Amino acid sequence: MGAEVDHVSPMGMSGGSAEVNDKSEGLRFSCKNKLTALVVDNGGVCRVIQTALLRSYGVETEAVETGEAAVELIASGATFNLIIIEMLLPVLNGPETARQIRAMGAQSKILGITAFFDERDQQEFLAAGADEFIEKPLSLEIVIPIIRELDN
């Protein structure tokens, strides 16, 4: 039908960096631990939105455009609790990026993400070491359980 209007200007959340706003349950909960994430997406708007969403939940988030940049970052010693990787990246695609990250011993939760869900892509990504594979958008329904899981 359409979103109900309850305000004129978009009003966002406020709160400390460690606070998480669980809108789905109407409750606030605080992360016990500092969480970090890496977004790997060549789409500018996707990268910005995913980063902003994670940061709004207190997750320290970095973003890169390519699989090669993600691999370089991990190789330099950076560690992340969560890595979100777009399926169709140029040159080094999502699954290959995940494979190389896993080969370096990274134990991050890896979430493969795609614009169009395809079972073969899912199989490829999971075989490469991803833990989950979802279709965009990265929504609260997906992010909140992941944050809770990582925080525990």
Partner 1 sequence: MERSQLLRQVAHQRQTLFDEGLLDEQFVQLEELQDRTNPNFVEEIVTTYYQDTSRLILNIEQELERRPLDYGRLDGYMYQFKGSSTSFGAKKVKAECSLFREYCRAGNGEGCMRTFQQLNREYATLKRKLEAYFQLARQARLTETASRPG
Catalog residues that contact partner 1 under the rule CB under 8 A. 1-3, 5, 7-14, 23, 42-46, 48-50, 52-53, 56, 86, 88, 114-116, 135-140
88 vs 91, beta carbon nearer partner 1: 88
Contact 97, 40 (CB under 8 A): yes
- What's the min distance (Å) between Cβ of 130 and partner 1? 17
Say how far apart CA 122 and CA 94 lie, in whole Å: 11
Q: 74 by DSSP, 3-state: which?
A: helix
User: Toward partner 1, which CB reaches closer, 79 or 145?
Assistant: 145
Instruction: Give whichever of 48 and 103 is closer to partner 1, judged by the CB atom.
Output: 48
Report, in Å, the least distance between residue 76 CB and partner 1: 27
Measured from the CB of residue 41, what is the shortest distance to partner 1 in angstroms?
A: 8
Measured from the CB atom, is 9 or 152 closer to partner 1? 9
Q: How far apart (Å, rounded) are the C-alpha atoms in residues 99 and 40?
A: 14
Report d(CA 101, CA 61) in Å as an integer: 17
Nearest residue (CB) to partner 1, 44 versus 79: 44
Residue where the block lists tokens 């279709």: 135
Least distance CB 152 / partner 1 (angstroms) = 24
Q: In the bound complex, what is the minimum distance in angstroms from residue 123's beta carbon to partner 1? A: 18
CB 16 within 8 A of CB 58: yes
Cα separation, 76 vs 79, in Å, equals 9
